[in-house]
Amino acid sequence: MNRICELFGIKYPIIMGGMSWAGTPKLAAAVSEAGGLGIIGAGPMRKNDLQKAIDEIRNLTDKPFGVNIILVSPYADELVETVLENNVPIVTFGAGNPTKYIKSLKNNGIKVVPVVASDSLARMVERSGADAIVAEGMESGGHIGEVTTFVLVNAVSRKVKIPVIAAGGIVDGRGMAAAFALGAEGVQMGTRFIASKEADIHENFKQLIIKSGIRDTVVTGASLGHSARVIKTKFAKKVKNLEVSSPEEAENILVGSLRKAVLDGNLDEGSFMAGQTTGLINEIKSVKEIIKDILNEFNDVIKNLRERHL
Amino acid sequence: MNRICELFGIKYPIIMGGMSWAGTPKLAAAVSEAGGLGIIGAGPMRKNDLQKAIDEIRNLTDKPFGVNIILVSPYADELVETVLENNVPIVTFGAGNPTKYIKSLKNNGIKVVPVVASDSLARMVERSGADAIVAEGMESGGHIGEVTTFVLVNAVSRKVKIPVIAAGGIVDGRGMAAAFALGAEGVQMGTRFIASKEADIHENFKQLIIKSGIRDTVVTGASLGHSARVIKTKFAKKVKNLEVSSPEEAENILVGSLRKAVLDGNLDEGSFMAGQTTGLINEIKSVKEIIKDILNEFNDVIKNLRERHL
């Protein structure tokens, strides 16, 4: 029915974003159990952490799941090794070009899904053998590029033949229908899934997402070469200012700041990475409800569009 | 069939963006003649210029058209007066809150359509009596806000009852269908319409649009308080650098730079305002072809979506 569902062996083409600290086996298992694809965020992990996380998710679900590896991690090699050893069904790759890992993963039957922020990288990873692509717009939370979902998904899905998963700005059935209209065959959501009952992020983080409007995020780190969208807290504004006046100090206070947000809810020293979608999220729901509501609205939107046919 | 078509008395809910220098009576008439809504860009005009432009478009078409007024113009009052005197059917307002003009325009049967970049301003202008709203994402060309089309259109159309027109990132039927999925009932396009045979922008500008990819625009003026998306030329990069080192000099070289781009094709001193959609535009077409192609693709996309119904 849908190439993404077929490729991953899942019921609904709804993928969890790769999220450091927040992408726990528990949350990923909940997404997979609800019919989507849960993703363990291996961003800050080393081999042993990932091994534990894989063991944990396999205790929680027998459905397909994935692991997200960030290519800027100094431990990317050992994380890919762990994925291979454990025969994880799917790997998504963020922050770089994963070409060098694709062959060995594919030879072992592991599906490779790079996250891209440009149409040129999309074409490159397709040529290298990627099975699908996440096209992630700059409205996303965390590390981002410059092109918006609206433009990127349209451009990427016109330029590659493999299926495209849209990310950035999506929380509901409207977003999913729009992504499909632009050429995507799946959607990836991060912020929506951490605003869930099953997410183990600190309560302060969940409350910030609920309270924030669509204009309450800001991009930090742009001038440092690693743009990340975060909720506009005092800390975020401080980082923005320091980027100009004292880039080194900005780098210093950013170290460990995501962990402080996710685990400690530390409003003074934490980077609360989240997308512009914070302004579209008003409620903490269970993962099951999130997915059910999206699918219901998606079907309604498509029905209504039919009636607006010109 | 569609509230936007009804409101404006047009055949297709496709609106031309308000564009200084590029929004000529000739181009606006072509859009109106093709069944959309052409818009005269009164941005840099004074009373007499606008009077001439209105006379000109009325010689070219008897279809409805609109005038775009920028609220930061020191001549906004006299331009509104001219609109009233000439009983122009529709006014769109950019760069500010047009509340003070709404009552007199509406009393004279003129439709008022503010362009907004936030959900809060959308609600405010609805309360003030606006007839419709253009929700313009930050992927748009020219003066922009911070929120992307994907998030903004969804948020705004959930928060107001008047019809919403989506702007930013739209050039084709995919974009139109996605905008409708997000809750819009019309689309506004700027960059797509200036890449047309009828546009009188300099040939250099048209060629830049054709050649540029989705990552070939940049936002200048952000630190000066007037963010504008332009094609990433050497001049644009120079402005970006000067904004940090010498904001006054940046302001100085920006004066008149849009005119130099549009009329003179001046690559060294011109601000070629355009959206990220430059990367989706590969051909100069007639306005009629642009609109025909969008409608055909829109209908195809909706048909395909129906089949992807889950």
Q: Which two tokens stand for residue B268?
A: 């060294």
- The 3-state DSSP class for residue B165 equals strand
Say how far apart CA A60 and CA A28 lie, in whole Å: 9
Q: So what's the ipTM on this one?
A: 0.96
E-state strands within chain B: 14-16, 38-41, 65-70, 90-94, 111-116, 133-136, 142-143, 164-167, 186-189, 217-220, 228-231
Report CB contact under 8 Å: B137, A154.
no
Q: How confident is the model at residue A161 (pLDDT cuts 50, 70, 90)?
A: very high
Q: Which residues of B touch A151 (CB under 8 A)?
A: 139, 169, 214, 275-277, 279-280
Q: Residue B204: which residues within 8 A CB-CB, separation 6 or more?
A: B265, B266, B267
Q: How confident is the model at residue A310 (pLDDT cuts 50, 70, 90)?
A: low
Instruction: Give the per-residue pLDDT at A244.
Output: 87
A55-71: average pLDDT? 98
Report CB contact under 8 Å: A150, B154.
no
The burial of A59, by beta-carbon neighbours within 10 Å (0-12 exposed, 13-18 middle, 19 or more buried), is given as: exposed
Residue B136 φ then ψ, to 5°: -110, 115
In what order do the strands lie in the sheet containing A14-16?
A14-16, A186-189, A164-167, A133-136, A111-116, A90-94, A65-70, A38-41
Q: What is the pTM of this model?
A: 0.97
Q: Of B10, B139, B149, B151, which to mutate for an interface test with A (greatest number of A Cβ within 10 Å)?
A: B151
Q: Of B14, B121, B150, which to mutate for an interface test with A (greatest number of A Cβ within 10 Å)?
A: B150
A169 closest CB neighbour out of B150, B170, B213: B150
Instruction: Give the per-residue pLDDT at B216.
Output: 98
Strand partners for A204: none
The answer to whether B222 faces chain A, any CB pair under 8 Å, is no
Report CB contact under 8 Å: B151, A298.
no
Strand partners for B37: B15
The candidate with the shortest Cα–Cα distance to A20, out of A142, A116, A167, A203, is A142
Instruction: Give the per-residue pLDDT at A309.
Output: 58
pLDDT over 80 at A35, yes or no: yes
Which amino acid would we find at residue A188? Answer: Q
Q: How confident is the model at residue A307 (pLDDT cuts 50, 70, 90)?
A: confident
| Below-70 pLDDT ranges, chain B | 1, 308-310
* Nearest residue of B to residue A310, measured between CA atoms: B299
Q: How confident is the model at residue A223 (pLDDT cuts 50, 70, 90)?
A: confident
Q: Which residues of A touch B150 (CB under 8 A)?
A: 137, 139, 148-150, 168-170, 175, 178
Say how far apart CA B98 and CA A48 lie, in whole Å: 60
Q: Of A151, A153, A160, which to mutate for an interface test with B (greatest number of B Cβ within 10 Å)?
A: A151
